[in-house]
Structure 1
Amino acid sequence: MAYLRVLASLAIFFHVVLADCECGYSITSTSGERQYVFTDLLENDFIHLDLTSDSQSYGEYGWAPQEFNMSSEVARGRYGEAFTPQNVISNNIAEEQTFEGPGSKGGDAGLNLVVRSEVQNGMVTGADISTTDVHFFHGTFRAGIKVTDVPGTCSAFFWYMNDTQEIDIEFLSSEFNRTNSTFPVNLVLQSQESKDAGFDASKTRDFQKINLPFDPTTAFHEYRIDFLSDRVIFYADDELLTEMNGTGVPSTPGNLQLSHWSNGNMGWSQGPPGTDATTTVTYVKAYFNSSLESRQHDYQTRCKDPSAPNAICAIPRHNATFFFSNVDNMTPNQTTYHNNGGGRTRWCRRLFTFIVALVIGTWVA
């Protein structure tokens, strides 16, 4: 009878741990007629997470600064591009409840992505970070970004698998004009069609240049990509920008990237910038369906009744300071990251695994 009492206690505890969001995180369609549910999350608060400390290992928080070169021919510009981890700079705030103001290095707190003005060996040095996992399939992806006001760079937030499976939000700082309040954002699906056009997506159906109703260089704004099975929807501060569908919608999983670069291409980034240019990112929030069989199995294990109260959690709309991973009991079986003095925690997934093992072991005994 003792083992039955243990099992009963574990069952109660197990239910409590998985009470909220055990069946995922949801958005509704712009018409409000359909709910989309995503099984996994990756939330990163770059105001408080130090992505670039020497003590951090590669991919410590699910992201890693990239280091690679592209020749001018490959980059399709006057200059080549050199991406270096030194141009990715964490500028954190120590107080975990403070989400705005200067960071420890001065200037806006967050993750700084820098493009240098000096050309070195025929290359302009820039910054790129990417998720170390490539299992991000359909989902909603959001980033808080303040774009540089220095002309001559391209700042980008994008989902990527390859050059014909890509979803881009790109800002060309040379296009900004405060005199007539022109602040365009370029929304792109890089596809086979764009490849056939010499990778000039502006000649395809899946390219739109939309003027923002605000200056993206003076404050942080949320830019969002909803990658669904049959369409891609773009938002700024929760306001619909445009929707694209058709053959350009990617059909594979991929990863997320943030980059800031210049190569002197007069038809795109222009540049290099006259002075060092910085684009700052305060957070990325990704809610998605994983392509990994192991994660799909985890979901089936924990989601027993999608109709149960709080089994599915609605994703807040345009809330820069809310993270499910900062709330107790809302990330069952998910990997979460916290500052905690520079460390990280993966307690949710570990706790779930521990409980499953304990329940099975007790049952066997």
Structure 2
Amino acid sequence: MLLDYETLKLVWWVLIGALLIGFAVTDGMDMGVGILLPFLGKSDTERRVVINVVAPHWDGNQVWLITAGGAIFAAWPAVYAAAFSGFYLAMFLVLAGLFLRPVGFDYRSKVQDPRWRSTWDWGLFVGGLVPALIFGVAFGNLLQGIPFHLDTFLKPHYDHTFIWALLPLLNPFALLAGILSVCMVAMHGGLWLQLRTEGVIAERARAAVGLLAPIVTVLFLVGGVWVYLGIDGFRIVSQPDLNAMPNPLAKEVVRAPGAWFDIYRTMPITMVVPALGLLAPLLVWMLSRVRRPGLGCFASGLALTGVIGTAGLSLFPFVMPSSTNPNSSLTVWDAASSHLTLTVMFWAVVIFLPIVLLYTIWCYYQMWGKTTVKQIEDNTYNAY
């Protein structure tokens, strides 16, 4: 079966979105646990319990991020080039935060000194907080448009210098999106801790989820109203045939109030996605409160899917809109690789993705069970 070029472009938009959601659901759980670590573990042993809940899986979960980055590079090279060149400082901060995680997991318990261990506990906190915050800020800026334009050679140029590259990103709406992202993954991590621990740690996790879940709903609602009332969206007025070879400068784009809501007006079924983002956190709150964290984790995954899916659907077909020259905006249709590249990658996904998913499920199955204080005390040299 040979898919036409337009269909492949759409398929890869869905696949990259699925990879980002997979990263948020799996590694977001680990980052959320790291954010909660200094607050839910009151003693060294309790903090080791918290760490050991995610320690066997965090590196495998982070592969989702690596795969998503590789997929963007291969499927949307223009987006990869524009984003990584313009947001190099932000990307470096994410990378620096992620560096703290493997070192923190592997070296925290190698030394008995409380100051050493406390330092790495806060390192794991930063390693969870900073990437979650920056990713949320990035989505907040995408909805406002990125200050870049393409020249006649399709080379991206930014309206700020490298030194000040980060400051324009930290605007009020983007910070709201960043805080939403942090609260979202912390809620997800809290559900996982409630499911995989017992006693006082599980109860503290339950209390954290009870606080965070309503905040996620409120922030998501405020962000939606803010976009509707105060942020102009982008709309394509004319463009070449969708099966044509990509040329980002061959289309005409305008900014218009309410344009980010076009897809919900033309395809009402898509309203299911923002409804998930709005209501699923409340379901998380209820399930956590009645001590059903297993179902709560599923509901939390739906909440993350709803929030991230809403951003993706609202932007569609834009991937990286330009605030300074709307016609330079990169879309699903004109930022893609060649037909052959997308085809080869598609069949690679068809073959290997089921294998990866089955292996991941097997790993979780083999290492399933609650992590307790007694286990940590009985396995001093084997546990993290």
Q: Which has the higher helix share?
A: 2
TM bin (shorter chain): under 0.3
Q: TM-score, normalised by structure 1?
A: 0.24
Query: Per residue, is there more strand in 1 or in 2?
Result: 1
TM-score (norm 2): 0.23
